[in-house]
Amino acid sequence: MEFLNTIDKKVKEGRVEGVDKVTGKGKFAAEYTVENVCYAVLVGANIPAGKITSFNLDQAKQVSGVLDILTHLHRPEVPGFATEELIKSSRFGLPIFHTDQVYFKGQPIALVIADTLEDATYSASLVEVQYAATPFQVDFDAARETVGLTEAGKERGAMAAWANAPHTVEEEYNIKSQVHNPMEMHATIAQWTANDRLVLHDKNQGVNNVQNVFANLLKIPKENIEVFSEFVGGGFGSGLRVWPHALAAILGAKQVNRPVKLMLTRPQMFAGTGYRPASWQKIKIGADASGKFQGIFHQAKNATSLYENFNDGITRVTRLIYDFENLKAEAAIVPLNLSAPTWMRGPGDCTGDFAIESAIDELSYKLGIDPVELRLKNLAIATNPETKLPWSTNFLNECVMQGAERINWSERKSQPGQLVDGDWSTGYGMAVGAWNAGRGNASAAIKMERDGTITVQTAMTDIGTGTGTGMVNIAHDTTGIPKEKIKIELGHSSLPPAPSQGGSNGLSSVSGAVVAVSLALKLKLAEFAASQNEIYKTAKEEEILLSENGLSFQKDKNHFISYADIWSKNGLTTVEVEASSGPGAERQKYSFCSSAAHFCKLKVNTKTGKVKLERMICIADGGKIVNDQAAANQMSGAAVGGIGMTLMEEQQIDTRLGGLIADDLAGYHFAVNADAPIIEVGFIGKPDPNINPTGAKGLGEVGIIGTAPAIANAIYNAIGKRFRDLPITPDKILLG
């Protein structure tokens, strides 16, 4: 028992939700027990384009336990899909069960509902569908040639101003589509408790977003939609939007008048919960002989679906990091017979940064200037080059210098292929990344018990980023209440509203609310204490100190009042406060960014094409680090994602039949522990005084933005081969 208590204590010290997760008490969306639940299985289209002409459901309905089968010909009404205009204005994407049109192979076209999962699965296999097939296009490389580019953002300076730059690089870059593949499967349990009241257990990154989407589609008050998403087994962006399967579960529950559980299979997730779209880029960059950048021309195209336009914003990062006086960007989206892509960790910027940082590395060799020196010469450290507002804080230059020192950059050879040991060649590479540091409006509440225990509440989910632990640390720092007496409640729509957890905005947003509600608690307790000691009548937040047992005035023990006294003299059961916080006028005065420098040392086997990463170092400027361990985990996990992006991840597509290939964890390769070294993470750790009350900036994106070009640049330094297409697999290394 003592051993178990020790383990329990250690887990709690690391993550407040740790014990619940490792013991199974914390449940993912599909694991909740709901009385009288039945099971649903989606049927996907087996053509990539065309129309459904008919269904034959006779055999499927004969399976024992089948309750009903939904199609576009048989389903409950969705008011938000009542007309084509409403479908378009809903911005939901695929109008599931409200069209006979087939846009992609695997598109959900029917939902079988049965008493058991086995019966539903078997019945789904017996659904027969007739189609009128039409021509399709799933080949991004072929389709992009037919789509023209348009201006992306305002041109800065003029192309003519650097037409005669003495040193230029002009190259094209291609990245295959990549899939999120979180640990937890996407799933929804839908339960109608009344005609206009709905309870959802859903795997998502924002319960308030789910509420709002379905309130709009179903035309019921959002307060009537209760959404649970307390524990989320990763998202990486796949849970930032509401997918059609969630609506399918809701319609199924309405149709059979019972709770319905729908969990996607891994192949269904490949087809239906988003991905980083395939992309093409062209970069032209110029510099003078000293290495000062004179201009950049960035063109980009990304894949999208036929039913929903998705622009990944690939050229956005071009405007963020470097002081380009002359800048022009163009972009386009390429519609394909594939499902809709969506945001994936470091969306757009991660893709664009690969091309920019690869081109800059190439330029450094032409100039004969060290890549570190070249970047330090051109970083926009003082002012946002796009808005001309001063950065509130920006220590990317310090990130670069620290990273170079830690990896022993001086040991790098200026010419490729100089460090050779038998079949192995060693190379060093680096790149930088940045992300606009956002902050949204968020609310939080605190419930305090007689014994001094407080529960901090907010609707924001914790998708594995350590948000709950960060909230404990902030509440402790602000109030003085010991961490072991602070509890957290997250991920439920009845709690104070908060933004979705994503885009590196989560903790930056909710931290202000936690500070605000912690200060509100101090003042509320002071109101009650004033009846016993008049000094608390005019006390300010900073003068009130809370402890395990009571409150004090400026550490003066003579003014200490216990919680027990406050509760008894005021007849209290609990003390409850709520507060909100959000961005303000500082957003008009300053620009905000998080940034990181990525350094890599690797070996390439010239006989096998294998790449072995020996060291990866990521130094980040994320403002004040609220939770060292969780922040380091964010950075290292993102870097491992970058390893997969660079060396192996590729969603293969059968251009002949129009479907996905190897759409499971056996066929789709991504980085595992054996593919990555221990990621060495460091932080500048200087608070941003203007972004929020804690000074903390987001870190979720900058751990991956820059990883891919750092690895690609190191491969060039090792063997002298420049790879501009991802992934860089062994066959390309051998044949390149």
Q: What is the pLDDT of residues 375-406, one digit of tens each?
A: 999 999 999 999 999 999 999 999 999 999 99
Q: Is the pLDDT of residue 720 over 60?
A: yes
Task: Please report the pLDDT score of residue 465 as a whole number.
Answer: 87
- For residue 307 the two structure tokens come to 């039913």
Lowest-confidence pick of 3-12, 94-103, 160-169, 257-266: 3-12
Task: Please report the pLDDT score of residue 46 as a whole number.
Answer: 97
SS3 of 401-440: HHHHHHCCHHHCCCCCCCEEECCEEEEEEEEEEEEECCCC
The answer to whether 577 and 586 are in contact (CB under 8 A) is no
Q: Is the pLDDT of residue 9 over 50?
A: no
Query: Residue range 699-724: average pLDDT?
Result: 97
Cα three-residue angle 565-571-576, rounded to 5 degrees: 90
CA distance linking residue 542 with residue 529, whole number of Å: 16
Query: Residue range 426-444: average pLDDT?
Result: 97
Cα three-residue angle 248-177-332, rounded to 5 degrees: 95
List of residues 6+ apart from 623 with CB closer than 8 A: 393, 437, 594, 686, 687, 688, 691, 694, 695, 696, 697
Query: Residue range 183-190: average pLDDT?
Result: 97
Task: Please report the pLDDT score of residue 363 as a whole number.
Answer: 98
Q: What is the pLDDT of residues 94-131, one digit of tens each?
A: 999 999 999 999 999 999 999 999 999 999 999 999 99
Which has the closest alpha carbon to 207: 511, 495, 503? 495
Task: Please report the pLDDT score of residue 144 as a whole number.
Answer: 98
Q: What is the pLDDT of residues 571-607, one digit of tens each?
A: 999 999 999 999 999 999 999 999 999 999 999 999 9
CA dihedral over 428, 313, 632, 176, signed as positive or negative:
negative
Which has the closest alpha carbon to 671: 705, 708, 700? 708
| CA-only gyration radius of the chain, Å | 28
Task: Please report the pLDDT score of residue 13 as a whole number.
Answer: 55
Q: What is the pLDDT of residues 338-351, one digit of tens each?
A: 999 999 999 999 99
Task: Please report the pLDDT score of residue 52 as a whole number.
Answer: 98
Query: Residue range 635-663: average pLDDT?
Result: 97
Query: Residue range 646-664: average pLDDT?
Result: 97
- For residue 314 the two structure tokens come to 């690939």
The answer to whether 691 and 682 are in contact (CB under 8 A) is no
- Antiparallel, parallel or unpaired: β 167-175 and 725-726: parallel
Query: Residue range 280-290: average pLDDT?
Result: 98
Task: Please report the pLDDT score of residue 107 as a whole number.
Answer: 98
Q: Is the pLDDT of residue 8 over 90?
A: no
Which has the closest alpha carbon to 477: 337, 618, 627? 627
CA dihedral over 215, 218, 219, 223, signed as positive or negative:
negative
DSSP string for residues in 13-80: HH-TTHHHHHHT-S--GGG---TT-EEEEEEE-SSSSEEEEEEE-HHHHTSTTEEEEEBTTBS---GG
CA distance linking residue 254 with residue 652, whole number of Å: 37
CA distance linking residue 390 with residue 412, whole number of Å: 34
Task: Please report the pLDDT score of residue 376 as a whole number.
Answer: 98
Task: Please report the pLDDT score of residue 90 as a whole number.
Answer: 96
